Structure 1
Amino acid sequence: MDNKDFDVIIIGGSYAGISAGMALGRALRNVLIIDSGKPCNIKTPHSHNFITQDGKTPKEISTLAKRQVQKYETIKFYNKLAISGIKTKNGFEIITQSGDKFIAKKLIFATGIKDIMSDIKGFTECWGISIIHCPYCHGYEYSNDKTGILANGDIAFEIGKLINNWTKDLTVFTNGKSTLTIEQTEKLQKHNIKIIENEIDYFEHKKGQIKNIVFKDKTSKKIKALYARPKFEQHCEIPKQLGCELTEQNYLKIDPFQKTTENGIFACGDNTNMMRSVSYAVAMGGIAGAMANREIIEEEF
C-alpha cells in the first residue's frame, strides 16, 4: 500500500468498524480499516433483532456492508493484524504483524472482545450456536424449548428472571453447590425454574447443537439451548498500550460520544459495553466516525 498517512485509522473491520468507516467516507476523510478477519460471532449461524437484516448470517451482513463502504474512494482496507501503537507529535502510528507502519490523526478501536471458553468438554464447539449469551439475539428461536442457564449466585438469578420470559421449561445449572440465597432460590422455584447442582462432565452435541448435559455422576439432562456468560478479555491490547482506561467490567471506558480517556482515540462496539448486538455496534460505529470527523474539523478550522 503506497499511502501510509491517513486522517483516521480504524482497527477492527466488523460491524462497528465498517459503520464508522462509512460515516468517515461520506465525510471525505482518508481512512484505513485494519482487520484481521476474526470476528467473535464467526460461528453464529444467524443474526437477529436487526431490522432489515433479521435472519441473515453475520457473514452476509458484513460482506454487504464492506461492499457498500468500498464504494467510497477514500476508504482503504488492509487485511492484517495490528499489534502495537505509539503516540506521535501529530497523532498516532500503528504497526502491523507484518511490520507495516501507518500514521493517522485519530484512531477508532472497533476490536471487540475475546470470550474465555469454559474448559467443560463441548462448550467451545457449541458456543454461539446452541450455547448462547443473548435472548434478544437468539431467544425467539428457542422459545418454549428445554432451556438451561449455566451460572450461579446473583448472575444465575438475574438471567433466570430474564429468560423466564422466553420459556417456562427452564433449569439453572450451578455446576456445583448453589450460591443462590434462600430468597433467590424460593423465587426461582416459585416460577418453576429448576436448580441442578450436579457438576457437569461434558456437553453432548451434534455439530454444535447441544443434546444433553452429562454430569460427573453419569446422569444427564436433555436440553436444546443453554445461556452462559463466560469471562472475557479485550481482543486488542493496543488501547491499553496507548493509555486508554478500562471500566471495572473490563470494557474500554468511553463518554457518550465514543471518546476514550485518551485524546484522539475513540472506541465502539463490543469492546465498550455488554450490549453485544449487531444493530448497537452499527449505531455506535456511526457515532464514533462522526465524532472523529468533528474533532478533526474543530482542530483544523
Structure 2
Amino acid sequence: MKNQQLDVVIIGGGPAGLNAALVLGRARKNVAVIDEGRPRNAVTRKTHGFLTRDGVSPSEFRQIAKEEISAYPSVFFVADTVVSIAGTDGHFQIATALGNTFTCKKLLFALGMRDRPLDIPGLAEVYGKSAFVCPYCDGWELRDEPLVIINKGEELMHFAPLISGWTNRFTICTNGPDELTDAQREELQLHQVPMFDSPIQHIDASDGIVRQVVLEDGTTIPCRGIFFKPDLVIGSDLPRTIGCHITEMGTVAIDNLGKTNIPGVFSAGDAASRMHQAIAAASMGALAAAAMNNELNAEAWRKPNEHA
C-alpha cells in the first residue's frame, strides 16, 4: 500500500470522516480513510440523537457506514496512524506508523477529541455506563432520576439550567472551589439545587452503575447517574504541527466550509467544534467533503490539457 496517489486523505474514521468519505465516494474521488480504531465514544453503549440510527452502538454505526461506503469503490480504509505530513495544497505526502505512504491533493482532519485521564477514583468504571458528558446524548435514559453533576464555574451555570429539562433531582459537586460569583450561588440556591465543594473521594458503583458519590468530608450523595465536564484535547497534534490555527478552546480553526488557514487542508467533527454530537460531526464532514470536491473539480477544470 505504498505511494498511493489520491484525491483526498481523511484522517479519522468517526462520523465526520465517514460522512466525508461517503460524499467524496459519490463524487468519484479517490479517497483513503486512515483511522487507528480508538474512538472516544467506544466507552458508550449507544449513539443517540442521530436520525435512523438512534440507539445504535458506536461500533455498529461504523460497520453500517463502511458497508454503505463500500458501494463506492474509489474509497478504501486503512487501519493505521498518521505520523507525519509534508507538502502543500495539491501535493501532500502522508506517512504512517506502519510504513504506508500516500500522496493526496486535499487533506481532511476528522480527528475527534480524546479524554485526558480521569482523575476521580471510580469515574472510569462508570464512564459510558452511568456517567456521561452530554444530556442530548444520554439525558433521556436518566430522566427524572437523581443525578450528580460534576462541574464548576461558568460552564456549571450553563449546564445547570440545561440538565433541568431532564430532571430536577440533581446535586452539584464542584470537586473543589466552585469558581462562582455570589450572584451565581444565589441563583442556584433560588432553584434549591444542593451544592458541595468538598473534593470527591471516590464513586461507588456496581457493574458500572453508580450508587453514590463519596466526598472527602464524609458526605455521601446517592444517585443513579452522573454528568461531568470532561477534560478534552484534540485527537492528534498533527494540525498544529503543520501550522493550522488552533482556537483558545483547543479546536482546529475553520470557516463555515471546514477550511483551515492552510490551503488544501480541512477539518470537521469534534476536532473543529464544541458541538460534540455524532449527527453534527457527520454534517460537518459532508460539508467539508463538498467543499473539497468543489475545489478539486475547479482546479481540474482550469487545467483541461492535463486531462485530455
TM over 0.5: yes
Q: Where does the alignment leave 5 or more consecutive residues of structure 1 unmatched?
A: none
Are the counterparts in 1 of residues 89 and 265 from structure 2 also a CA contact under 8 Å? no
Q: Which residue of 2 aligns with 1:288?
A: 288
User: Counterpart amino acid of 1:105?
Assistant: K
Deviation digits for residues 45-70 of structure 1, max 9, x if unmatched? 11111111111111111110011112
Query: Is 1:69 aligned to 2:69, yes or no?
Result: yes
My pick for the range that moved more, 234-243 or 252-261, is 234-243
Counterpart residue number, 1:138: 138
| Equivalent position of 1:124 in the other structure | 124
Task: Give CA deviations for 1:122-149 in whole Å, capped at 9, x if unaligned.
Answer: 1222223222111111111101101111
Does structure 1 retain, via aligned residues, the 8 Å contact 2:268–2:284?
A: yes
CA distance in 1, matches of 2:133, 2:273: 14
Cα distance between partner residues in 2 of 1:198 and 1:260 = 42
Q: Provide the aligned C-alpha RMSD in A.
A: 1.4
- Structure 1 counterpart of 2:58, which letter? P
Deviation at 1:219, TM superposition (A): 3.1
Question: Displacement, 1:3?
Answer: 6.0
What is the aligned partner in structure 1 of residue 256 from structure 2? 256
Which whole-Å CA distance do the structure 1 matches of 2:139 and 2:201 have between them? 25
Give, as a single letter, the amino acid of the residue that structure 1 aligns with 2:291.
M
Superposition deviation, residue 88 in structure 1: 4.6
Question: Following the alignment from structure 1 to structure 2, what is the Cα–Cα distance between the partners of residues 144 and 82?
Answer: 44
Q: Counterpart amino acid of 1:243?
A: G
Cα contact 2:90–2:106 (8 A) shared by 1: no
Task: Assess if the C-alpha contact under 8 Å between 1:117 and 1:123 holds in 2.
Answer: no
Measure the CA separation in 2 of the matches of 1:3 and 1:72.
Answer: 21
Distance 1:273-1:18 versus aligned 2 partners, 3 A rule = same
| Alpha-carbon distance in 2 for matches of 1:262, 1:152 | 36
Distance 2:89 2:286 in 1: 27
Percent identity among equivalent residues? 35
* Stretch moving more, 259-268 or 208-217: 208-217
Aligned to 2:153: 153
Aligned equivalent of 2:199 = 199
**Cα distance, 1:2 vs structure 2:** 5.9
User: Residues of 2 paired with 1:83 and 1:254: CA distance?
Assistant: 22
Look up the match of 1:33. 33
Listed as ranges, the gaps of 5+ residues in structure 2 are 302-308
Q: Is contact 2:89–2:263 with CA below 8 Å preserved after alignment?
A: no
Partner of 2:267: 267
Return the alpha-carbon distance in structure 1 between the equivalents of residues 114 and 61 of structure 2.
Answer: 21
Question: What's the secondary structure of 1:271's corresponding residue?
Answer: helix
Contact 1:117–1:230 (CA<8 Å) still a contact in 2?
no
Question: Hey, what does 1:279 align to over in structure 2?
Answer: 279
1:8 Cα deviation (Å)? Answer: 0.4
3-state secondary structure, aligned to 2:76: strand
SS in 1 for 2:6: strand
| 1:9 partner letter | V
The verdict on how the C-alpha distance between 1:171 and 1:89 changes in structure 2, with shifts beyond 3 A counting, is closer
Query: Alignment partner of 1:261: what SS?
Result: coil
Counterpart residue identity of residue 109, structure 1: F
CA distance in 1, matches of 2:98, 2:31: 20
